[in-house]
Chain A
């Protein structure tokens, strides 16, 4: 168990989340055990209401789980206070959102450097330039988000997520707002950060094509882990999604 805790970049044990109380209580997550190895790329999939977003929020320290533990880099972060969670988010976790979430009044370069500034760390200009070049936007470092396309904005967001060398990058439907060609470019970038930088990535999605870029797919159904698939293909994932009810039957 302990060796497990130190080898995984992110681990949850018995993660349970209940919203509300009494008869109206909703169980969003039930006893979820998952470990994400360093340098792995995992897609978390499931239909709407399966608990994907709740899972991300708990892991990111935005929501406090009802019970269970969250370990980042082997460190238990479940009971941290608000300030420590904030520090955890900006130093150990990178975010990529469906809606890009760039600050509209900062240039691409400034957006990428923002987590470093917030943490009071030195602006490593060379590193920021390097990351922007890596995502193919070396020429656009001084553009404001309003002057960039959706795909370009998302690539800036990826560079921003990588800038602090976080333990894990959490991506929430990163291609949900993009067309398929642009989505392919963005996913290839994420894949590349795993392969060449050894970054750990956990991506929530319901797109089988997006999931096929991952090493492993974890299926969530009704707040429980219903199955896994290694080396997924888009077809296999789509097939599995069409028969999730069988997974549930097998799991219970």
Chain B
């Protein structure tokens, strides 16, 4: 099986590069925060410093992990699902479902183990830089020595590998359990957007939790003496709701794409094709929608939060406030960077798997421009829906925190920020789609 797995990896480089990159970045991000937690256990670290470092490492790192693991799982999901036909072929020539499943797992482990080890290696200097940031901000004592080591880096790598394997196993089981047949219905490769119950449940719980924290902020923590109590309850709400909506993305995409289909369809055959592809194969494009939602909700939510904090108590700036905001910015920056890479990755993987289908369009007489524009129109629909949902999710942080700091439902400033972030996100999504199509090369050639 391992020989077959390696051959298959070489064969579909683009799709696996996407998995590799997300696992690499994931291990680097989680590992960097894990080193803080390990540093806290070092000798000579005061109790207060140890508490700060542990909270930072576990809590902030935990948030990052949630996003990272979700991304790795979804990228891996795309690459496995797109191989339904090939797995059907393996089954026909005599592979049992178990063998086919093992092949998928073997590939996933090769890619993610290598990526996670490299990512953990990157996490070592990244963790060092994080600690330096905290020391300079005066958040921990200058005497705290960097203690990142094998325990932190190893567990980060292990976490990424294990999640990837679970994701691969779940997807593989769904793909390999069917009857052995070559005539896999095309529809299966795209998915209709129906999700297993547990995925719906996870999404709803996350959204409800985020909204709950928002309500707690307005009703309870807003009135407390500590000005940062409201921040601690509302700060992560936008990310929670954003990730929850991202988990539900296939269903949301199906509904919303159908809503905008009549309007987009008026934009000629290109928009018409795009509208149907997005709504009827929302399972596939949901993987692109998810990071767009998270990117928008995290960036808008946290940056607005920092802005409100700066306006309301920035005048009487405390060291504590400065470092908290610095940290907020660092974390948001990392999440945004990660989500941006995911958008590019997911598009590359999705488009690479559609080569045959896009060629089919060319055979039927679509010009290269028409094919390219229809993929771009899909990206436009996904980006539009993604930023819309992301903005809605960001309200879960922005509104309660603005209320808590007596700015009212609408914050007093920085209203230029959301449109700017939205424009950047849409531009990124369109560019990702464009480069993914260009990477396919010419779509002509001999018919089969």
12 interchain pairs, CB-CB under 8 A: A57-B446, A63-B445, A83-B367, A86-B362, A90-B366, A103-B360, A104-B185, A104-B189, A105-B280, A117-B272, A118-B361, A150-B183
What 0/1 readout, one digit per residue, does chain B (264-281) give for beta carbons within 8 Å of chain A? 000011001100110011
Q: How far is the CA of A63 from the CA of B448 in the complex (A)?
A: 12
Kindly state the separation between the CA atoms of A57 and B444 in the bound complex, as whole angstroms.
Answer: 11
Please report which residues of chain A, range 86-119, place their CB below 8 angstroms from some CB of chain B when the two chains form the complex: 86-87, 89-91, 95, 97, 99, 101-106, 110, 114-115, 117-119
Question: Does chain B have a CB within 8 A of A56?
Answer: yes
- Cβ contacts B148-162/A at 8 Å (1 or 0 each): 000000000000000
- Name the A residues within 8 Å of B280 (CB-CB): 104-106, 144
- CB-nearest residue of chain A relative to B367? A86
Q: B residues within 8 A CB of A114? A: 364
A145 to B188, CA, bound (A): 11
Whether A99 touches B448, Cβ cut-off 8 Å, given contacts A118-B269, A146-B186, is yes
Contact call B187/A146, Cβ cutoff below 8 A: yes
Complex partner residue of B364 from A82, A99, A118, CB under 8 angstroms:
A118
Closest to A61 in B: B444
CB distance from B447 to the nearest CB of A (A): 5
User: Is A249 positioned at the interface, with any CB of B under 8 Å from its CB?
Assistant: no
Q: Is A53 an interface position by the 8 A CB rule?
A: yes
**Which residues 114-152 in B have Cβ within 8 Å of A in the complex?**
none
A82 to B366, CA, bound (A): 11
Q: Are A53 and B357 closer than 8 Å at their CB atoms?
A: no
Contact partners of A57 in chain B: CB under 8 A: 446-447
B365 contacts partner chain A, Cβ-Cβ < 8 Å:
yes
The 7 A-B pairs of least Cβ separation, nearest first, read A90-B365, A146-B187, A104-B186, A105-B280, A117-B269, A146-B185, A89-B365
Does A236 touch B at the CB level, under 8 Å?
Answer: no
Distance to closest chain B CB from A158 (angstroms):
14
Check A101–B360 contact: CB distance below 8 A: yes
Tell me which residues across on chain B come within 8 A of A183, comparing CB atoms.
none
- The answer on a CB contact under 8 Å between B276 and A104 is no
Give the contacting residue for B190; candidates A56, A62, A104, A119; CB below 8 A.
A104
User: Nearest Cβ in chain A — how far from B382, in angstroms?
Assistant: 14
Q: How far apart sit A19 and B357, CA to CA, in the bound complex (Å)?
A: 26
Q: How far is the CA of A216 from the CA of B447 in the complex (A)?
A: 24
- Cβ of B355 to closest chain A Cβ, rounded Å: 13
Which of A53, A82, A89, A104 meets B281, CB within 8 Å?
A104
Report the bound CA distance from A104 to B280 in whole Å. Answer: 9
Closest beta carbon of chain A to B92's beta carbon, Å: 14
Report whether A110 and B276 are in contact in the complex, using a CB–CB cutoff of 8 Å: yes
Tell yes or no: A24 within 8 A of B by CB: no
Give the size range of B's interface with the partner.
20 to 34
Q: Which B residues are in CB contact (< 8 Å) with A117?
A: 269, 272
Known: A95-B363, A110-B276, A119-B365. A63 touches B186 (CB 8 A): no
Contact yes or no, B447 A60, CB < 8 A: yes
Contact B364 A89 (CB under 8 A): yes
Q: Contact at B361–A97, with CB atoms within 8 Å?
A: no
- Residue contact A104 to B187, C-beta cutoff 8 Å: yes
Residues B446 and A103 in contact, CB atoms below 8 Å apart: no
Q: Knowing that A89-B364, A104-B280 are A-B contacts, what are 12 other residue pairs whose CB atoms are under 8 Å apart, sorted by A's residue number?
A: A56-B447, A86-B366, A86-B368, A95-B447, A99-B448, A103-B360, A104-B185, A105-B276, A105-B281, A106-B276, A115-B365, A117-B272
A238 within 8 A of B: no
In the complex, which residues of chain A have a beta carbon less than 8 angstroms from the beta carbon of B448? 97, 99
Known pairs A104-B190, A105-B280; A53 contacts B183 (CB<8 A): no
Task: Tell me the B residues contacting A by CB distance below 8 Å.
Answer: 183, 185-190, 268-269, 272-273, 276-277, 280-281, 357, 360-368, 370, 444-448
Q: Which of A60, A95, A146 contacts B188 (CB 8 A)?
A: A146
Let me know if A11 is at the binding interface, CB within 8 A.
no
Among candidates B186, B362, B447, residue contacting A172 with C-beta atoms closer than 8 Å = B447
What residues on A are CB-neighbors of B187 within 8 Å? 104-105, 144-147
A60–B365 alpha-carbon span in the complex (Å):
11
| Residues in chain B near residue A103, CB distance under 8 A | 273, 357, 360-361
Residues of A within 8 A of B189 (CB): 104
Please tell me if A120 contacts chain B, counting CB pairs below 8 Å.
yes
- Residues of B contacting A83 with CB < 8 Å? 367
CA distance A62 to B362 in the complex (A): 10
Residues of A within 8 A of B446 (CB): 53, 57, 62-63
A160, B365: Cα distance in complex, Å = 12
Residue A177 CB within 8 A of the other chain: yes
Nearest chain B residue, comparing its CB with the CB of A58: B446
Cα-based distance from A102 to B360 in the complex (angstroms): 8
Which residues of B are found within 8 Å of A147, using beta-carbon distances?
187
A102: chain B residues at CB < 8 Å are 186
A146 contacts across to B, CB distance below 8 A: 185-188
Residue of B188, B268, B363, B370 with most chain A CB atoms under a 10 A cut-off: B363
Q: How far is the CB of B199 from chain A (nearest CB, A)?
A: 21
Contact A91 B365 (CB under 8 A): yes
| Shortest Cβ gap from A203 to chain B (Å) | 14
Contacting A89 at CB < 8 Å: which of B273, B360, B363, B368? Answer: B363
Cα A39 to Cα B427 in complex, Å, equals: 52
Bound form: Cα–Cα A87–B448 in Å: 20
Residues of A within 8 A of B190 (CB): 104-105
Bound together, the chains give a CA A87 to CA B366 distance in angstroms of: 8
CB nearest to B185 among chain A residues: A146
Assembly CA distance A91 to B363 (angstroms) = 12
A118–B186 contact, CB under 8 A? no
A38 smallest CB distance to B (angstroms): 21
Nearest-neighbour CB distance to chain B for A90, whole angstroms, equals 2
Q: How far is the CA of A19 from the CA of B324 in the complex (A)?
A: 67
Give the complex CA separation of A160 and B364 in angstroms.
Answer: 9
**By the criterion CB–CB under 8 Å, are A62 and B444 in contact?**
yes
For the complex, give the distance between the alpha carbons of A58 and B141 in Å: 76
Set A89, A110, A118: member contacting B370, Cβ < 8 A:
A118
Give complex CA distance A109, B309 in Å: 57
Residues from chain A with a CB closer than 8 A to the CB of B447 are 53, 56-57, 60, 62, 95, 97, 172
Q: How far is the CA of A114 from the CA of B268 in the complex (A)?
A: 12
Please determine whether B281 and A87 come into contact, CB atoms closer than 8 angstroms. no
Instruction: List chain B residues, Cβ under 8 A from A119.
Output: 365
| CB closest residue in chain A, given B363 | A95
Is B445 a contact partner of A95 (Cβ separation < 8 A)? no
